[in-house]
Amino acid sequence: MYMKCKGPTLFWTGMVLMMPGLAAAGPTLDAVIDRGALNCGVSTGTSIGKSTIDDQGNWTGFEAEFCRGVAAAILGDGAKVNYVPLEFKSAFASLQSGSVDMLARSATRTFSRDSELSFEWAGIYLYDGQGFLVSNASGITSTTELSGASICVTSGTTTELNLADYFRTNGIEYTPITVSSPDQSIANLEAGRCDAYTNEVGGLASYRLGLSDPNAYTILPDIISKEPLGPVVREDDQQFEDVVEWTLNALIIAEEFGVTQDNVVETAASTEQPEVRRFLGAEGEFGAMLGIPNDWAIKVIQTTGNYGELFERTLGSQSPANIERGYNTLWSQGGLLYAPPLR
């Protein structure tokens, strides 16, 4: 039956055979290699669990470590990252100008950003939703009790639009207190200048930890939006987008196959599973197809661990934030994490 499709089959087979094994480096990949470091735009260092600076002066958190994973894939060393802290209002302009190679700072993918900006989301690494942080002293336990409340929100964000949409839809009056950064919003909440602070739940959990008494504040159970967060790159460089996206895919694939930070080298040397062998560079030239070393995935997992390890260490059960994984679990466990097959 399939033998009848000789023409198209031979055409596509020929096209595959003519594809070069080694991709020519694109402008961003060339720049990273020549510089010897990845310039990664992150938040301003106060988002505990996502990107913050520890007591030793090292950047830590899910997004900061993702930057290290990309550097490891390209340069073989996750330490070769120049972190560039950026306020939201300047983040996209910094990417467009070339000041940074990529953004890893809780940027929500939306229709308007996809269609109007010259950027691409290289996958989604956190599935989140917008919520509200309130003081326990307020007595507020639900968004339905926010009528007439003053709400702190960062201006120019999807968070601000979601807030307006939700309260308009539900016929609730409120007063927005708009500021330029989450740091200002959380400071206003603690000072009593607003009744609630709204952001994605992961961000609320992170900023709550920076309050003088985190236990005096509660994240309300209501979620008012979808917030797919991921790394952002310039749209004119497909190869670099592929490198960043497959760094994320590597984290997910590693968790699927039980490849961890501790066993990745041993697994690469001993596994007989075909897809794992391709993934870890024992078969095929998948690194070369991206223009990076063939052991790229090994370097990524050695640097960050698999997705589950990275999440739990920075945001989940092993972290101060203690956020449940929720949708950020593998598709096979009821979550939304799903990587394309490596073949």
Confidence of residue 337 (pLDDT cuts 50, 70, 90): very high
Which residues on adjacent β-strands are paired with residue 52? 46, 60
- CA-to-CA separations, 227 to 126, 250, 268, in angstroms, rounded: 8, 22, 35
Burial of residue 73 (CB within 10 Å: 0-12, 13-18, 19+) is buried
| 26-127+228-321 shares its CATH topology with 131-225 | yes
Q: Using DSSP, state whether 67 is helix, strand or coil.
A: helix
With beta carbons less than 8 A apart as the criterion, state whether 30 and 207 touch.
no
* H/E segment holding residue 290: helix 286-290
> How far is it, in rounded angstroms, from Cα 210 to Cα 46?
8
pLDDT in tens, 210-254: 899 999 999 999 999 999 999 999 998 999 999 999 999 999 999
Q: Using DSSP, state whether 16 is helix, strand or coil.
A: helix
Burial of residue 307 (CB within 10 Å: 0-12, 13-18, 19+) is buried
Is 0.85 surpassed by the pTM of this model? yes
With beta carbons less than 8 A apart as the criterion, state whether 210 and 186 touch.
yes
Confidence of residue 9 (pLDDT cuts 50, 70, 90): very low
pLDDT in tens, 71-116: 999 999 999 999 999 988 899 999 999 999 999 998 999 999 988 8
> How far is it, in rounded angstroms, from Cα 317 to Cα 324?
7
CATH number for domain 131-225, candidates 3.10.20.30, 3.40.190.10, 3.30.70.20, 3.40.50.150: 3.40.190.10
Taking the domains of the chain in order of start, what are their residue ranges? 26-127+228-321, 131-225
CATH of domain 26-127+228-321: 3.40.190.10
